[in-house]
Amino acid sequence: MRTDLVLLSARLLDPLTGRFLPGTAVAAAGGRITALGEDREIRARADSSTTVIDLKGAVVVPGLVDGHLHPVSGAELTHGLDLSDCTDLDQVRAALAAGVRSLAPGAWLHAWGLDPNVFGDRPVAVAPFDSVLEGVPALLLLFDAHSALASRRALELAGVDGPRTFDQASAEVVCDAGGRPTGLLLEDAACALVERVAPQPTRAERRERLAAALRAMAAAGLTGGHVMDANGDSLDLFAELDAAGELPLRLRVAPWCQPGTDADGVRALIEQQGTGGALWRVAGVKIFMDGTVDNGTAWLERPDCHGESTHAFWPDPEEYTRILGALHRAGVPVATHAIGDAAVRHVLDSVERARADGGRGVRHRVEHIETVPDDTLRRFAALGVVASMQPTHCCDFTRADHTDNWSRRLGEERAARAWRCRDLVDSGATVVLGSDWPIAPYPPLGVMAGARHRRPTRDLTQPPHGPEQALTALEALQGMTVNAACAAGEESEAGRLAVGHRADLTVLAENPLTTAATDLPDMPVLLTVLDGRPTHRDATL
């Protein structure tokens, strides 16, 4: 077999043991690793058509995989005004004013990344921005992407002048005591009321934004992602990029199953499994069990300080249990968004009931797991449920002193149980790490660093939130390599440097296990290889 790629002068890091493997070179052909060995031996496999790269002592790890990603919606939502660096209302107003000045008459203002902490003790509403947005149709997406603020003009254009009822139980057009909308829209169904009257990008624009986002992810070291949606024409876009040779990540896509899905809808999701192309496929189903703590739509066992977060996303949580059971019987893994303790408990209860009927090999997952009590931890390993965590959410959206919105809503007891990565690992659970982009930045070195230091990314001199929950450097690397492969049922072909495994590789300038967590995000990614071909190559190689 012709050798496609040879990497020389490498240090081959095994994420299972944390030690370097013997040998200094890798050969790949047909998208697989065909040999690991010494430079002379591996170089002999090359011919005039082989890409040969001297890594000059750089470190090779299995390709890094983001365990929770939204590339299509992320590429769309992150187009516009970035408010993620704003820390108070004055900064938001200044940013919005600058955005308004650049608008053509009648044009919409789109913004994203708004942190509810900028409101302090004030309610999250559009009123503080009325003077800036007067007459301007604007939609400001909050950082959690589960809520948005619509300006008065946007609400008027959408015909939203009072409360609405939705199939999604936690969706809401928030209104004041007089029944007038405050501008806050909770969950996808409410946000869609305004989104559907706003101008939409062309399909060509959406395709290029997606392609650009994926190229940037590859340059950051990602070779794959577990995609947690397949809305609209997402699958068509993946197929187009794949067919054109422009898909730089290997994508595992889980379409949504929403409240109101009937038996035919569940059957269609089952039939869709395994479809895809060379570098993407449908594998699993994504279901929401609740919303978010920050906007009061999580499902908690006790209400938050505002009396909110008291119910599930599904009007009838038992319907979720029945659907999970049907998917389980069909061998379809379910990834459930569950942030609050009641939501996580209900998912685990549902998996336990499904497993009692057989099919113990199906690997279900819980996404986010932001706060859980002690008695929940051990159930993940016992039920074979993967814990999918996004540690940078804890780093960037909460504070060590619990003065942030998330912590204040939950109170000291529950805020002290934030993102229990360490406890889940110690309980025997398989912990997968991801970004949830566009909620948080996608660079995987930043995700791994956050799992280790748990400090605000913008100011690493600040104290960590729950340092006792930090992962080791090796555990963080495993969370984006071997554990990601295990969650996908692909441990026999991915997540390790081994002959026969996929030639998905990330090459780093230094050893990520001996680099300080605070320095890790700045480590150069020298080469990214997907299916045996470079998707990113630093100019120094």
Give the pair of three-digit tokens for residue 521: 């995000």
Residue 299 in tokens = 């499902």
3-state secondary structure of 536: strand
Q: What is the pLDDT of residues 322-371, one digit of tens each?
A: 999 999 999 999 999 999 999 999 999 999 999 998 877 899 999 999 99
Residues in CB range of 63: below 8 A, 6 or more apart: 222, 223, 224, 250, 481, 494, 502, 504, 505, 506, 528, 529, 530
Pair 370, 393: CB distance under 8 Å: yes
- Dist. CA 408–CA 422, nearest whole Å: 23
Give the Cα separation of 450 and 464 in Å (integer): 10
- Spatial contact of 210 and 48, defined as CB atoms under 8 Å apart: no
Q: Looking at residue 11, what DSSP letter applies?
A: E
Quote the CA–CA distance of 225 and 241 in Å, as a whole number: 15
Structure tokens at 473: 């450097």
Closest CA to 380 of 423, 327, 318: 423
> Which residues have CB under 8 Å from 180's CB, separation 6+?
161, 162
Q: Which residues pair with 285 in a beta bridge?
A: 334
Nearest to 115 by CA among 124, 106, 127, 107: 124
Q: Is 445 helix (H, G, I), strand (E, B) or coil?
A: helix
Q: Which DSSP state fits 477?
A: H
Planar angle of CA 282, 222, 244, nearest 5 degrees: 60
Read off the DSSP letter of residue 313.
S
Q: Determine if residue 227 is left, alpha or beta; phi over 0 gives left, psi from -120 to 50 gives alpha, anything else beta.
A: beta
Beta bridge partners of 387: 366, 431
Nearest to 67 by CA among 488, 500, 426: 488
Amino acid 2: pLDDT? 92
Q: Alpha-carbon torsion 231, 236, 239, 244, what sign?
A: negative
All residue ranges of the chain with pLDDT < 50 are none
Q: What is the sign, positive or negative, of the torsion defined by CA atoms of 427, 463, 115, 120?
A: positive
Judge whether 249 and 218 are in contact, CB under 8 Å: yes
> Running DSSP on this structure, what letter comes out for residue 179?
S
| Alpha-carbon span 148 to 126, nearest angstrom | 10
SS3 (DSSP) at 99: helix
Residues 6+ apart with CB under 8 A from 300: 293, 309, 310, 340, 341, 342, 410, 414
For residue 489, give the 3-state DSSP assignment. Answer: coil
Contact at 8 Å (CB) between 438 and 70? yes
Q: How far apart are CA 184 and CA 446, in angstroms?
A: 31
Look up the pTM and report it: 0.92
Cα torsion angle, 151, 152, 158, 161, sign:
positive
H/E stretch holding 108 reads none
Sign of the alpha-carbon torsion through 352, 353, 359, 362: negative
| Euclidean distance between CA atoms 95 and 81, whole angstroms | 8
Q: What is the pLDDT of residue 145?
A: 83
